[in-house]
Structure 1
Amino acid sequence: MPACWYVTDKIVEPWLWNMYPLDENLEIENDVNTEISSRENKAFYFASFVLLLMTVGLVLALLPEDSLLRAPDGTLASFKAPIMQSIVALIFIFTGGVGVVYGVASGKFKLPKDFTKSMEDMTHTLVQLVVFYFFAAQFLYAFNASQIGALLAVSGAEFLRSLALPPQLTIFGIIFFVALLNLIITSASAKWAILAPIFIPMLMGVGISPELTQASFRISDNSVNVVTPMFAFYPLIITYCQKYVKESGIGTLSSMMLPYTVALLIVLTVVLYGMWFLDIPLGLQADYLYPRP
């Protein structure tokens, strides 16, 4: 997206170079190199071929209507289908198998201890993340148990209802309200489960379609997640940042992501209003306004 490119090139990158230079004693892993040997290149193609074979084999196993991987009624997407119940194991087999094939073919794995050594190195990088998640989990549990987020969501929705604004201003209020709420509830499904039963009937009553409500909700949800410490992947991102700049933390990451949030909120809002003005459909049979009862 041009807005993200502009923010990265003109704002975030120059700011990072001036404020947070890379650590002078930066440790680079021994297996990191910038050149790819011919053997590694061949190993990549071989591993890719193995992945293709595994994928084709899985598809062929799923095709028969009486496949053992299907649910009793013959569906694949049902939670009762063995393919859905074993999805984690399949991901492990596919990724682990391809990694092992590449390691052996490239010469990185020569002895059994090389496998465990690579796993130890990866686990070592996650130690800080595990510790961070432990304390973060205690805070999130206490926060969710207090139901503060749900209380604010319901109270804010009722406040918007009481204002009785025109559709254009109401949608702007939805975008702004969800952006603020997203700072404390980052799960899109959790927010929508709370807000949808309130917003959709309320806005249909003032002539706003559910499709437009969903679009305005997604604008804020997509833009603000990267700037809130409540985001589930924040500890993981901080862990990677600290590999290059030891002093980086929550404040560093939030301030770094803030320009993206502002830019995306502005650009996506302008795009939505532009599509609304030009009457470009949001989707198949998706209107902006809903006939009032």
Structure 2
Amino acid sequence: MSASPAPEERPNLAVRTLEKIARVGNRLPDPLTLFVIMAGLVVVLSALLAGASAEVRQTSGELKLMEVQSLLSWEGIRWMFLSAIDNFMGFAPLGPVLTVMLGIGIAERTGFITMGLRVLVASVPKSMITATLVFACVMSSMVADAGYVVLTPLGALLFAGLGRHPIAGLAAAYAGVSGGFSANLLITGLDPMLARLTGQAAETLDPGYAVNATANYYFLVVSTILVTVVCTWVTTKIVEPMLGKWDPSQASDEYGGKDAPEEPGAEERRAFFIALAVGGVVAAGIAFLGIWSGSPLRDVVEPGEPAVSALHSYFEAVEVLIALLFVFPGIVYGVVMKSIKSDKDVAKMASDTMGTMGAYVVLAFIAGQFVAYFNWTNLGAITAVRGAQGLEAVGLTGMPLLLAFLGVSALMNLFVGSASAKWAFMAPIFVPMMMMMGFSPEVVQAAYRVGDSITNIITPLMPYLPIIIVFAQRYVRDIKMGTILTTMLPYSVALGIAWTVLLIVWLQLGLPLGPGVSATYVLPGG
């Protein structure tokens, strides 16, 4: 008779609960089928709710009356057929994912990435590996969505190489990138965009009020530490125990059998550092394209606009730039190590990489239809506005009102993915209302960003969810949506609790959210 496990080996209550949720969730259909079902539900709901309307604030500031459009109407049916290819090609992550994966695939097949991870493992204490990964993912919001397609697969590859469960590495990276959109040590492109919308909303009550891009800077810096610590803790204490030991035989042939990385040999180190030097030259060239005044990817900034606006075009091209940053050093490493002997080897590596992306392309076609259906019917925008109006009518005041607003922001993020589009119609409702209650516009914006971030991790409308599924299936062929979403749920809950507590403590202590920014607001003459 086998001995019962020691008490410290038994899963804790949280892990056992998540395992049960995962078992239930895994009874869901294949992710492809699930997106088909969700698209079908949007079609049915659009017909049932056709004609429901609400005034929605656009990013331009203009009010527009929107109605739910039925996909089962003559016009809706015609649109579904005529737009199907455009919906697929217009699926936001499709082009960026394939572009970046082309560069990563070549670098991975030459051994450059694996070698880089081995150097990282040899250089960073094992106890700090998870935190280092999460921190890098949080900081990736500097380059918009690129973290999803660059760091999530590297997180899985890193954990697999360490003999840890690769899905835990993928989950930690995904949570870090998602939470990182409202946490960074630097000002990113999202900050001036949200500040502009917040300022416009504040001006309806106080015409002289100005909100700048650094409105939440101090709070974002501390949030960077918070997200890193929380996601590291959830990964090691909840997610890895829940997933258990990884069986490499469950992976595809290319990604199975990952052994713990050995100490790199002299020839490998030489090849790696030559490739790294080439990567440094490429990085310098990439930086030149956007950093110096007059460079090709630097925009002209109008007086009064934040300096970060000059990098808009640079960030627009970031996926291509990242692909190049992987391709050149990857090829150099392959040439030195003789895994590349001719241009035909590079071509084969590129085509093999795209071959592994077939499942993603199929999933992207269906996911593209689902997202497009949701947007065309106006269901998301109208649901969000109605929810905001309902909260306004409840009559809460003070901290309960701010926390209720944070909750609504988190809930609305399940229906409207874009942070700026959602804030465009929520800010005009909530910013003036909460200014009347004594909250500064900057506090309202901070609460919105917290709510928006914590459910990024679990929303089915996140455009990058399909690629996360495909990455996961490289290491566990039969992994289902239930396991993936259940794996991400602890991050969402833990960040929701910790971040909300941080916001409450911050306000109770009266700390400034940014340079010269007060948490309170007093009406002129009040």
Query: TM range, normalised to the smaller chain?
Result: 0.7 to 0.9
Given the two structures, how large is their TM-score scaled by the length of structure 2? Answer: 0.50
> Is 1:108 matched with 2:339?
yes
Report whether the alignment pairs 1:193 with 2:424.
yes
Q: Which amino acid aligns with 1:43?
A: A
Root-mean-square deviation over aligned CA pairs: 3.0
> Residue 279 in 1 paired to residue 510 in 2?
yes
Q: Does 1:269 align with 2:496?
A: no
2:242 equivalent to 1:22? no
Q: Distance in 1 between matches of 2:268 and 2:460?
A: 39
- Map of 2:53 onto structure 1: none
Residue in structure 1 matched with residue 232 of structure 2 by the alignment: 5
The residue correspondences of 1:67-86 to structure 2 (distance < 5 A) are 78=310
Change (3 A) 1:123 1:169: same
Residues 159 and 118 of structure 1: is their aligned pair in 2 closer, same or farther, counting only changes over 3 Å?
same
Q: Does 1:239 align with 2:470?
A: yes
Q: Deviations over 1:232-282 (max 9, x none)?
A: 111111112112222222222111111111111000000110111111211
**Deviates further, 281-290 or 48-57:** 48-57
**Structure 1 pair 116–187 and aligned structure 2 pair: CA distance change class (3 A):** same
Q: Could you state the TM-score of these two structures normalised by the residue count of structure 1?
A: 0.86
* Structure 2 CA distance for partners of 1:37 and 1:30, relative to 1, 3 Å: farther
Q: Does 1:48 align with 2:48?
A: no
Which one-letter code corresponds to 2:230 in the other structure?
A
Counterpart in 2 of 1:205? 436
The structure-2 alpha-carbon separation of the partners of 1:107 and 1:76, relative to structure 1 and needing over 3 Å to count, comes to farther
Q: Which residue is equivalent to 2:94?
A: none
Alignment partners' CA distance in 2, 1:44 and 1:193: 47
In structure 2, relative to structure 1, the CA distance for the partners of 1:283 and 1:113 (3 Å cut) is: same
Query: How many angstroms does 1:167 deviate by?
Result: 1.8
- CA-CA distance at 1:68 after TM superposition: 6.1
Superposed displacement of residue 11, structure 1 = 1.9
Q: Deviations over 1:193-252 (max 9, x none)?
A: 221222212221222111111111111222111112211111111112112222222222
Question: What are the residue-to-residue correspondences of 1:70-219 with 2, within 5 Å?
Answer: 78=310, 89-219=320-450
Letter in 2 for 1:22: D
2:267 matched to which residue of 1? 39
Instruction: Give, in whole Å, the separation in 1 of the partners of 2:489 and 2:295.
Output: 49
Q: CA deviation at 1:10?
A: 2.4
1:269 & 1:62 partners in 2: Cα distance? 37
Aligned length: 290
Distance across 1 between alignment mates of 2:291 and 2:461:
42
1:60–1:79 distance in 2 versus 1, CA, 3 Å: closer
1:241–1:164: structure 2 CA closer, same or farther, 3 Å change rule?
same
1:186 aligned partner, one-letter code: G
Contact 1:238 1:253 in 2 (8 A): yes
CA distance in structure 1 between the partners assigned to 2:292 and 2:230 by the alignment: 47
State the distance in 1 between where 2:451 and 2:278 align: 41
Q: 1:58 to 1:247 in 2, by over 3 A?
A: closer
Compared CA separation, residues 275 and 63, structure 1 to 2 (3 A):
closer
Query: Structure 2 vs 1, CA of residues 117 and 142 (structure 1 numbering), >3 Å: closer, same or farther?
Result: same
User: Is the CA contact (8 Å cut-off) linking 2:250 and 2:476 kept in structure 1?
Assistant: no
Shift of 1:79: 8.0
Partner-residue secondary structure (3-state), 1:240: helix
Distance in 2, matches of 1:135 and 1:118, equals: 27
CA distance in 1, matches of 2:250, 2:301: 60
Contact 2:384–2:415 (CA<8 Å) still a contact in 1? no
Farther off after superposition, 29-38 or 103-112: 29-38
**Which sections of structure 1, spanning at least 5 residues, go unmatched?**
none
